[in-house]
Structure 1
Amino acid sequence: MDVTEVTRTDHLDPTQISDILALARAADLADGAQPLSEHVTLRLRPDDPAPVDHLIARDPAGVPVGYAQLDRTTDPAAAEAELVVHPAHRRRGLGRALVDATIAASTGADLRIWAHGDHPSAAALALDLGLRRDRELWQLRRPLGGEIAEAVLPPGVVLRAFRPGLDDEAWLAVNRRAFADHPEQGRWTADDLAVRMAEPWFDPAGFLLAVEESTDRLLGFHWTKVHGTVTPGPVDPLAETSIPDPTRGLPEPVGEVYVVGVEPEAHGLGLGKALTAAGLRHLRDRGLNRVMLYVDESNSAAVALYARLGFSRWTTHVQYRLAP
């Protein structure tokens, strides 16, 4: 193994951040799947307050060729990790070294490790280390040129755009209730919302809210996103890869059903289908030809809804688990 060491730190300097982003880009181009998820890449930023561990493997010249991030912020008894190995340095034991270092750093926690793209080498390594397949996250896609259902809202409910600074608290409250059982989405804080609103891709016009017309009470939402476009404004040195772009290298932008949520008290009104359709129509009106979304394989109701709306599975991300 041509690696001198795997080091662990809780802070990255700008050079380290740039090197890790370059490493992730190289893996993305080789594999056709971004190796690090959105929240992991956001936590590379030097101003991110989350106390995560960064494990970096370097070659003899000191260049990072492997990276893992270990996050224990949501539960002190649990930990979650993601890792990436440079394509030119694979099949040399580096992935195993990073996983071993991650397990050691997790200090007996209930550890979960994501493998994006369900790569065979990740499955083989998991088998060798006794990690079991615990969760699947599907990426679904559909063209936007076909038929899109009408966005039929219940009487007394209207759509409007999200208003930054005015709708934040109401949205966070509904998001928490709508995703109370979701391991990531239901834990979003004001900081999580703010950091995404500061991203170059954020567009409040594509953040659709379903509200009671008489009271403006929030009942549901569809937050859309566009990958592969450039937003005018100040240049952010991390903007290009601050949010992983699963469409990198494709010839055109791709829309995303970023998150759809409904207030539990409003279930049964058909808002989920109506909001999804409204977002798809918004993305098509922006000139996009295709759209994607992420959904847990175990969420049979959501999978069935998206299938009825014309989505098909594109790829799979797998979470492996090492229980203490």
Structure 2
Amino acid sequence: MDETGLRVSEVGPEAAEDWTSVHWSSFKGTPYKGDDKARFAARWAQMMTGPFADRAHSLIAHDGDDAPVAVTRVWSAGPGRPGLVEPMGVHRSHHGKGYGVAITLAGARALQERGASSVVVVAEGSNPAALATYRSAGFSGFGDVSDLKRP
């Protein structure tokens, strides 16, 4: 456990329901049930076994009551190269407890253990909570980056 009382562990496809329920709550905020739940959990489990699965590691944090409260996925480009923490989310009913910073730092440690030279995060400028979380975890901004898309 860390100073927030969280137990963080790396998980695989067996944790699809817990991991995706936290992620869904943190981003969607709508009820997580039925077809949405099955489809999202299946997609996540498929990603966990896909062609780049060996470069990604999914972490989940449980509180003192063993409830899943925060998740992240970290992506390694290999030893001596930067790693990415993306996505990161905290269940809506657990906001404001420091869990976002804790899971972000756990992700950074996981990348460091795998030899990452540095760690980067990504957040939309329109998401002040994510920006504040990442700043609280010690990250600094490099300015806005525009998305490119095809018509």
- The bucket for the TM-score relative to the shorter chain is 0.7 to 0.9
CA contact (8 A) 1:161 1:204 kept: no
Give, in whole Å, the separation in 2 of the partners of 1:153 and 1:200.
35
Structure whose alpha-carbon radius of gyration is higher:
1
Residue 208 of structure 1 deviates from its aligned partner by: 1.6
The 1:178/1:154 distance shift into structure 2, 3 A limit, reads: same
Q: Which of these residues, 257, 262, 269, is aligned with residue 85 of structure 2?
A: 257
Give, in whole Å, the separation in 2 of the partners of 1:190 and 1:179.
15
Secondary structure (helix, strand or coil) at the match of 2:145 reads strand
Partner of 2:33: none
Q: Which of these residues, 273, 288, 292, is aligned with residue 120 of structure 2?
A: 292
Partner of 2:8: 159
Structure 1 unmatched ranges of 5 or more: 1-150, 230-250
How many residue pairs match? The answer is 142
The 1:201/1:314 distance shift into structure 2, 3 A limit, reads: farther
Give, in whole Å, the separation in 2 of the partners of 1:282 and 1:298.
28
Q: Which of these residues, 209, 227, 240, is aligned with residue 60 of structure 2?
A: 209
Structure 2 unmatched ranges of 5 or more: 30-35
Secondary structure (helix, strand or coil) at the match of 1:296 reads coil
Residue 252 of structure 1 deviates from its aligned partner by: 4.7
Give, in whole Å, the separation in 2 of the partners of 1:170 and 1:296.
25
So what's the TM-score if we normalise by structure 1? 0.38
Secondary structure (helix, strand or coil) at the match of 2:142 reads strand
CA contact (8 A) 1:201 1:226 kept: no
Residue 283 of structure 1 deviates from its aligned partner by: 0.9
CA contact (8 A) 2:20 2:41 kept: yes
Give, in whole Å, the separation in 2 of the partners of 1:163 and 1:176.
17
1:182-208 Cα offsets, whole Å, 9 max, x none, are xxxx99713321332123432598322
Partner of 1:311: 140
CA contact (8 A) 1:164 1:204 kept: no
The 1:189/1:205 distance shift into structure 2, 3 A limit, reads: closer
**Structure 1: 4+ residue segments shifted above 6 A:** none
Partner of 2:72: 222
Give, in whole Å, the separation in 1 of the partners of 2:90 and 2:132.
17
What are the residue-to-residue correspondences of 1:26-105 with 2, within 5 Å?
Answer: none
Partner of 1:173: 21
RMSD value over aligned CA atoms? 3.1
1:239-261 Cα offsets, whole Å, 9 max, x none, are xxxxxxxxxxxx95321002111
CA contact (8 A) 2:56 2:76 kept: no
